[in-house]
Amino acid sequence: SEMTSKCISLKALTALAAFACLLPVSRGHTIEGVIEQPMDADADFLAKTRITVDSGNYLGFIRANRTFIVQHVPSGSFVVEAIHPNYLFEPMRVDVASSGKIRARKLNFLQPALVKKLTYPLRFVSLGRAAYFQQREQLRTLDLLMNPSVLIMVVPMLILLVMPKLMNTQDPEVRKEMQQQMNFFSNKQNMPDVAETLSNWFGGGGSSGSRRSGSALKDAKRPGVKKRAA
Amino acid sequence: MGIKKNKFSFCMLIFLLFLQMHSVLALYEDEIGKHDWTRQFVGRVQHLEFDLPAGTTTKQRSQQLQGGSSSRRLFVATDHNVLAAIGLKSSRIIWRHFLEDAPVNGIKLCDGALFSMSNGLLRSWSTSRGILNYEISVQEQLEAKFAGTLTCHEDPDDDRSLVFASTARRLVAVAPLTGALEWAANLDAGSGENHSEVTSFPNPDGLTVVTFDPTAGKMRLHQFGAESGVAKRTATVKAEWLTSLQRCAISVSTLACLDPAGSVRLLSLSSGSDFKPLPPSLVEQLGHAGPWQSVEEIGGQDLFQLTTNSGAVVAMLDASLATGPTGESLPAGSLLRYRGQVRFLLRQQGDGGGGVTLEASSSSSLVASNKISLSFASHHGRVSQLYPVTFVRKGGSSYGYRVVMTTRDADLHAFDDTGERQWMREESLAGIVSVEAVDLPSADEDELVTPGGSVFSSFAQRLSGQVHHFIHVLQHLMLCWRARPASQADSLGEFGYPDEAPAPPASAASSSGSGAGSLIRDEFNLHKLLVVATKDGKLAALDSATGRSVWRLMIPMPAAAAAAEGTAADSARTEARIEPLAGGQMPLYIQRTTAHFPLEPMATVLCRDSSTGRPVLFSFNPITGIGIGLAQRLQSRLLQALLVPQPSHDNGQYIRPLMLLSDTLQVTLYPAKTALPHGFKSLNLYTVDRDNRLLQGYRLRLTEQQQQMSAISTWRLALHEPILVTAARRPTEQVHSVGRVLGNRHVLYKYLNPNLLAVATLAKDMVTPAPQIGDAYTQITIWLIDTVSGRVVASATHHHSSGPVSLVHSEHWLVYSLWNQKQRRFQLSVWELFAGNGLRDCMNATQPIVGKQSYILPAPVQHLAVSQTERGITAKSVLLALRSGGIMELSKAFLDPRRPFDMTPEFQEEGLMPYHPEVPMSTQAIVNYNQSLHRVEGMVTVPTGLESTSLLFVHGTDLFCTRVQPSKMFDVLKADFDYAFIAAVTIGMIIGSFVTQRLAARKALFRLWS
Q: Report whether B422 contacts B416 (CB < 8 A).
A: yes
Does A161 fall in a domain? yes
pLDDT digits (tens, 9 = 90+) for B454-480: 788 778 877 887 887 788 778 878 877
Mean pLDDT of B58-85: 67
Are B860 and A56 inside 8 Å of each other by CB? Answer: yes
Measure the CA–CA gap between A37 and A45, rounded to whole angstroms: 8
pLDDT at position B328 is 63
pLDDT digits (tens, 9 = 90+) for B817-831: 999 988 889 999 999
Partners of A16 on chain B (C-beta within 8 Å) are: 189-190
Counted domains in chain A: 2
Is the same domain home to A59 and A141?
no
State the nearest Cα–Cα gap between A92 and chain B, in angstroms: 12
pLDDT at position A82 is 93
CATH number at residue A63: 2.60.40
Residue spans of the domains in chain B: they are 719-765+776-934
Least confident of A153-162, B206-215, B699-708, B845-854: B699-708
Out of B173-182, B286-295, B551-560, give the one with best mean pLDDT: B173-182
Residues 6+ apart with CB under 8 A from B27: A132, A133, A134, B927, B929
B730, B731, B736, B737 alpha-carbon torsion, rounded to 10°: 80
Measure the CA–CA gap between B882 and B885, rounded to whole angstroms: 6
Least confident of B318-322, B323-327, B491-495: B491-495
pLDDT at position B799 is 92
Measure the CA–CA gap between B940 and A175, rounded to whole angstroms: 77
Partners of A64 on chain B (C-beta within 8 Å) are: 126, 131-133
Task: Give the nearest partner residue to B95 out of A10, A47, A50, using CB atoms.
Answer: A47
Does A166 fall in a domain? yes
- ipTM for this prediction: 0.81
pLDDT digits (tens, 9 = 90+) for B838-875: 666 666 667 888 999 999 999 999 999 999 998 888 99
Helix/strand/coil percentages in chain A, nearest 5: 40, 25, 35
State whether residue A138 sits within 8 Å of chain B by CB: no
Does residue B56 have a pLDDT over 60?
Answer: no
pLDDT at position B66 is 40
Does residue B199 have a pLDDT over 70?
Answer: yes
**Among residues of chain B, what percentage have pLDDT more than 70?**
82
Does A156 fall in a domain? yes
Measure the CA–CA gap between B117 and B102, rounded to whole angstroms: 10
State the nearest Cα–Cα gap between A165 and chain B, in angstroms: 22
Are B978 and A43 inside 8 Å of each other by CB? Answer: no
Are A63 and B134 inside 8 Å of each other by CB? Answer: yes
Single out the residue in A150, A166, A187 at which a domain terminates: A187
CB pairs under 8 A between A and B: 185
Does A5 fall in a domain? no
Does residue B54 have a pLDDT over 70?
Answer: no
pLDDT at position B795 is 92
Is the same domain home to A50 and A125?
yes
pLDDT at position A169 is 65
Is the same domain home to A61 and A151?
no
pLDDT at position B843 is 61
Is the same domain home to A102 and A44?
yes
Confidence of residue B265 (pLDDT cuts 50, 70, 90): confident
pLDDT greater at residue B483 or residue B766: B766
Out of A39-43, B295-299, B526-530, give the one with best mean pLDDT: B526-530
Out of B135-144, B352-361, B908-917, give the one with best mean pLDDT: B908-917
Does residue B763 have a pLDDT over 70?
Answer: yes
Taking every pair of C-alpha atoms in chain B, what is the biggest distance, in angstroms? 134
Is the same domain home to A67 and A148?
no
Q: What is the 3-state secondary structure (H, E, C) of A90-119?
A: CCEEEEECCCCCEEEEECCCCCCCCCCEEC
Q: In B765-876, where do the E strands start and end?
A: 778-786, 792-798, 801-810, 813-820, 825-834, 849-857, 861-866
Helix (H, G, I), strand (E, B) or coil at A220: helix
Are B929 and A57 inside 8 Å of each other by CB? Answer: no
Partners of B924 on chain A (C-beta within 8 Å) are: 131-134
Does A3 fall in a domain? no
Residue of chain A with shortest Cα separation from B886: A85
pLDDT at position A156 is 86
Mean pLDDT of all residues in chain B? 80
pLDDT at position B542 is 92
State the nearest Cα–Cα gap between B929 and chain A, in angstroms: 5
**Among residues of chain B, what percentage have pLDDT more than 90?**
26
DSSP B141: S
Residue of chain A with shortest Cα separation from B932: A85
Confidence of residue A40 (pLDDT cuts 50, 70, 90): confident
Does A210 fall in a domain? no
Predicted TM-score of the model (pTM): 0.82
Peptide bond into B485 cis (omega under 30): no
Are B99 and A59 inside 8 Å of each other by CB? Answer: yes
Measure the CA–CA gap between B997 and B431, rounded to whole angstroms: 72
Least confident of A65-74, B250-259, B356-365: B356-365
Residue of chain A with shortest Cα separation from B118: A59
Confidence of residue B994 (pLDDT cuts 50, 70, 90): very high
Are A134 and B135 inside 8 Å of each other by CB? Answer: no
Task: Give the nearest partner residue to A136 out of B28, B139, B190, using CB atoms.
Answer: B28
Does residue B513 have a pLDDT over 60?
Answer: no
Least confident of A51-55, A65-69, B430-434, B629-633: B629-633
State whether residue A7 sits within 8 Å of chain B by CB: no
Is the same domain home to A120 and A91?
yes
Are A98 and B773 inside 8 Å of each other by CB? Answer: yes
pLDDT greater at residue A47 or residue B975: A47
Partners of B823 on chain A (C-beta within 8 Å) are: 109, 112
Partners of B968 on chain A (C-beta within 8 Å) are: none
Task: Give the nearest partner residue to B996 out of A12, A57, A195, using CB atoms.
Answer: A195
Does residue B573 have a pLDDT over 50?
Answer: no
Sheet containing strand A29-35, edge to edge, reads A67-73, A29-35, A122-124
Are A52 and B884 inside 8 Å of each other by CB? Answer: yes
Amino acid at B991: I
Pick from B730, B379, B440: which is nearest to B601 by CA? B440
Does A125 fall in a domain? yes
**Which residues 62-121 of A have a C-beta within 8 angstroms of B?**
62-64, 68-69, 71-72, 74-77, 79, 81, 83, 85-86, 88, 98, 109-110, 112
pLDDT at position B958 is 93
Full residue range of the structural domain in which residue A66 is found: 29-129
Confidence of residue B69 (pLDDT cuts 50, 70, 90): very low
Does A227 fall in a domain? no
Are B131 and A63 inside 8 Å of each other by CB? Answer: yes
Partners of A75 on chain B (C-beta within 8 Å) are: 773
Task: Give the nearest partner residue to A199 out of B184, B923, B997, using CB atoms.
Answer: B997
Q: Report whether B919 contacts B858 (CB < 8 A).
A: yes
Strand partners, B797: B781
Partners of B773 on chain A (C-beta within 8 Å) are: 75-76, 98
